[in-house]
Structure 1
Amino acid sequence: MHPDRQRKIRALFDEYIEMYAARDDRLTARFSQNFSGYPGSGTRLIHNRDEWIRITRQDFAQVPGRIRMEMLDLALQDLSTDVVVATAFFHIHLPSGGHQLSREVARLVLIFRCEGEVWMIVHCSYSIPYQSAQDGEVYPLKSLEEQNSALQALVAERTQALDESQALYRLLTEDTQDVLWRTDSQLIVTYISPADERLRGFRADEVVGHPVFEMFTEEGVELVKGMLRRRAIEDSAGSAGGFLRFQVEHRCKDGRLIWGEVQSKPDRNAQGEIIGYHGITREITERKRLEEQVRQLAFHDPLTRLANRRLMLEHLEQAMSASKRSHRHGALLFLDLDNFKPLNDLHGHGVGDLLLIEVAERLKACVREADTVARFGGDEFVVLLSELSTQPGEATEQAVAVADKIRLCLAELYVLKTAPSAPAIGHHCTASIGVAIFHGRDESQNAVIDRADTAMYQAKEEGRNRIRLAPGIGGTG
């Protein structure tokens, strides 16, 4: 990456950190209209900018004093000319002096996009390493059901107002970028706004009088028909709701496919019979593309491409459920590099990053494809082994064998080059490994992680470059 570009991305990141740490409400003005985010330790992607602003202000109100963010690692990426990413690992120090967060490694992913001449934040993903955030805590997660209900009520109210004045309805639809449409009870298009021609290339007379399904791909047709069937069942039971909201691919006149987000609602006569449908379609192709990038960044470490903490926890949850069904044991290996900091101090973070990438490749080569390798932050890695023996002793032997294979592999000489013409840097770096065997759901996820983490620290205290088995299932430590 060109140094000027790197300095630009770093300046954007530093500005965000300063405003967030200072609890500066001006930060909310930096969020793009197309913003999305993962708050705290949740896995639900929020698309609503106003909801994110609400969460941010609630955070600021609950902890009004300045916080300190102790940076441990920072990765800067250039996705395209107008999209850049910063990923950071850090400790959070609250003004109250609480140590719950300061002991843990938090992760932040920021995606900036140049909109016009201004760099805006289009995605923010926090991974806070603690469970069960509740109301009143620093980063609570609340259901969006109430907001969605309010939004549906608002859309219904505005749609009713448009129905009462057809002239006003047409006036409003002529210039909007969203496509407004109507169909009869047989889903034959009776009206479509001029935005559809700008969006898909079809004139209104090429769409009106045709089935609405001609707009969609075959997969889209099946999706919509399935939703209509479910809605008909709900309607017959008297439990049908208001708007249907779904995302579906649309066909364009030139052969392209674009994504549209559709909100649709039936029109009824005085007897409650459906006499047609009306709705709004908004193009979201760019948003879908960005969401895919966001998902990749939200569940994977950008430097090593390994799973991150959030994805590892999901895989551990699945492994524990599978273990309960099959009665096979699993194992969690917690690794910490023994000689990493001197390399960073002597040669800089760029060379340190090269070593972390090589460590990731060696770890993946030591395990099966079904196993999971994750980077928890800094120079900490986790390996999840599943489908081990049903016998605790045999499962322990299997896990320790893999751990020893990893230990020997990671201890081999690293030859690092920052550029093809640059001189090679040789470095020896071993690892301390803690192994925790688990069976079904005999304990919680956190308990398994804590056992492996404690065993790893024991390996470090006893001289490093060694393996220690955690007390509990399969061994005595």
Structure 2
Amino acid sequence: ALIALGNTLEALAGVWLLQRNSQFDVNLHALRDYTSLIFWGGCVAGLVGAAVGPAVLLVAGIFTPDIYPLQTLHWWMGDVLGVVLVAPLLLVWHQFPADRLDYKRLPEIVLLFGLAFLAGNILFMGWLADSFGLYAQHFWMFLFVAWAAVRFGAHGVLLLLALIASQALFGAYRHTGLFADDLLRTQLVNFWLYIVTLSVVGMMLASYIRAETLSKQAIGKQEAFFHLISDNIDDFITVLDLQGRQIYSCPAYNKLFGQDSSPDKLDCFAEIYADDRERVRAVFNEVVKTGIGQRIEFRFVLPDGSLREMESRCGVIRDAEGEILEVVVVSHDISKRKQVEMEIRNLAFYDTLTQLPNRRLLEDRLSQAMLASKRNGSFGAVLFLDLNNFKPLNDTYGHGMGDALLVELAQRLSHCVRKVDTVARYGGDEFVAVLSELGEKRVNAAQEALGIAEKMQAALAVIYTLQYTNDEGEKVAVAHHCGASIGCILFTGREASQELLLKWADMAMYHAKKNGGQKICFPENCEDVTQSGQFSVPVFH
């Protein structure tokens, strides 16, 4: 009863020790699970049974105290061997390996265990000693254990170990084979070490192969998942080496650039618009250097010469040591988004009819011109234009004809100014031009502003040939004459606010219109405008 109690306590101690490890898997899928079972459930827990069993037998007088240490060692070795052979066999085989032991593999199973049984009898039972005696060595069984580990996993290894241990133990009992005199010489210590070593090596190999197989399966699933995404996604996925050459490109990318063949080692920067290429290359080099992903917008040049606006995000692939191996780039076509943004910007800052800047953008351009004038001391000017003879066209032929006139008129005005200047539609038939960088002398600035204003009047005075559709559906050409009254005010950054400049230019325009139209009017100076509102044409006009 006491021995049974000791054995029970040993089993409970083993279970308690193993349960303390939350990562322990009773299916022994990993090598650490097997080694934990052997160490905690066998070596450590076996001390409990080895302490109780021999002590009970010693008290009962079964053996003398002088052999108590050896009996304790044998008891512990027996318990450990039981855990090494029997416990894993029960834990692993409670799940039948249908995938490894199907009927198609039955011939291989029979061959493995048949040869192992024959080899075991030769090694441990003394079979064919005259023929194989010189070659019957312990290491032959490692061949069969390795075979079982590779082809049948832990299930095959444990079943084969049970067969080998049974044959070796039976041979030692009959005093035949390799362990014939082991009982007398080492008290079966050699047998114990051999079986434990064979078990650990076999399970180690089986666990490693299982881990490799699971890893390959996981990688295969990831690759299949990746290809499923890359083959069906609208975005463009490319993998580059550290020199920027393509290693992989998804089907969408190949379709975009017409690359039916493998894109291996193609220079991806060659497909980028020339103005963006160096900027993209610099971002790529920064990613390779730091390993930190980046986002960038650029333009692709397609084979037909057209451009695509792209937004790309890139990251790195590292090896197990953290070294950067490759760069993954996921690009998204943002051409439509850019087009929408441009349309929104046009609606916000440009007149929808003439495509000239509207009041909001005019205020921004005037503010910039005033800041530039304040910074460099040069003069600027504001020209305020009001069309003459526009209302009769609208009243006679309708707003469609009026709109057509405004579109052509806007084009003519745009051709009259410099690149640094701005022409904006102020509202209705009123336009404003902001002139910058007219020089540091007021007289010279006024002369240049007057020259541009006269150029505008001359351009607007050319007859407009417009077409409209009459009630019969016929297109009728209409010739129309339209001019403009222009008010002009010079400024430097120190003189006035935007509101005041526009007010002065507006007052100058009305003064020109009041005096017969088709005039260009300058105030004498700012003080005259603010105090008396009197205007006069400068001497050079």
Question: TM-score, normalized by length of structure 1?
Answer: 0.50
Per-residue deviation, 1:332:
0.6
- 1:335 corresponds to: 385
List per-residue Cα deviations over 1:345-371 (Å, max 9, x = no partner). Answer: 222123223432454455456555664
- For these two proteins, the number of residue pairs brought into alignment is 308
How far apart, in 2, do the equivalents of 1:465 and 1:325 lie? 35
3-state SS of the aligned residue for 1:328?
coil
Check conservation: 2:295, 2:311, Cα contact below 8 A: no
**Percent of residue pairs identical:** 38
- 1:451 corresponds to: 504
User: Which of 195, 198, 206 is matched with 2:252 structurally?
Assistant: 195
Distance 1:169 1:401, change over 3 A: closer
User: Which of 243, 263, 274 is matched with 2:294 structurally?
Assistant: 243
Check conservation: 2:381, 2:489, Cα contact below 8 A: yes
3-state SS of the aligned residue for 2:400?
helix
3-state SS of the aligned residue for 1:206?
coil
List per-residue Cα deviations over 1:424-469 (Å, max 9, x = no partner). Answer: 4555x45343322111355444443343234435555677554554
Per-residue deviation, 1:331:
0.6
User: Which of 350, 353, 357 is matched with 2:400 structurally?
Assistant: 350
Per-residue deviation, 1:277:
1.7
Whichever residue aligns with residue 395 of structure 2, its letter is: D
3-state SS of the aligned residue for 2:476?
coil
Whichever residue aligns with residue 246 of structure 1, its letter is: E
RMSD: 4.5
List per-residue Cα deviations over 1:260-307 (Å, max 9, x = no partner). Answer: 432212234676643322231234566667877887887665654645
Higher strand share: 1
Distance 1:250 1:405, change over 3 A: closer
Check conservation: 1:250, 1:257, Cα contact below 8 A: yes
Check conservation: 2:297, 2:311, Cα contact below 8 A: yes
- 1:274 corresponds to: 324
Distance 1:447 1:264, change over 3 A: farther
Query: Structure 1 residues 169-178 or 184-193, which shifts more?
Result: 184-193
- Pair member with larger Rg: 2
Check conservation: 1:268, 1:275, Cα contact below 8 A: yes
1:422 equivalent in alignment to 2:476: yes
1:320 equivalent in alignment to 2:370: yes
Whichever residue aligns with residue 256 of structure 2, its letter is: L
Check conservation: 1:323, 1:387, Cα contact below 8 A: yes
List per-residue Cα deviations over 1:49-74 (Å, max 9, x = no partner). Answer: xxxxxxxxxxxxxxxxxxxxxxxxxx
Per-residue deviation, 1:183:
3.4
Check conservation: 1:336, 1:381, Cα contact below 8 A: yes
How far apart, in 2, do the equivalents of 1:466 and 1:257 lie? 47
Whichever residue aligns with residue 244 of structure 1, its letter is: R
Whichever residue aligns with residue 234 of structure 2, its letter is: Q
1:261 equivalent in alignment to 2:317: no
Higher helix share: 2
Stretches of structure 2 lacking an aligned partner (at least 5 in a row): 1-218, 530-534, 536-541
1:226 equivalent in alignment to 2:226: no
Distance 1:285 1:468, change over 3 A: closer
Distance 1:230 1:453, change over 3 A: farther
User: Which of 486, 507, 515 is matched with 1:433 structurally?
Assistant: 486
Whichever residue aligns with residue 509 of structure 2, its letter is: M
3-state SS of the aligned residue for 1:202?
coil
- 1:375 corresponds to: 425
Distance 1:210 1:340, change over 3 A: closer
How far apart, in 2, do the equivalents of 1:362 and 1:251 lie? 35
Check conservation: 1:181, 1:189, Cα contact below 8 A: yes
Whichever residue aligns with residue 448 of structure 1, its letter is: L
Matches within 5 A, 1:143-222: 165-203=222-260, 206-208=262-264, 210=266, 212-213=268-269, 216=272, 221-222=277-278
Whichever residue aligns with residue 243 of structure 1, its letter is: Q
3-state SS of the aligned residue for 2:279?
helix
Check conservation: 1:437, 1:474, Cα contact below 8 A: no
How far apart, in 2, do the equivalents of 1:386 and 1:211 lie? 45
How far apart, in 2, do the equivalents of 1:174 and 1:270 lie? 28
Question: TM-score, normalized by length of structure 2?
Answer: 0.45
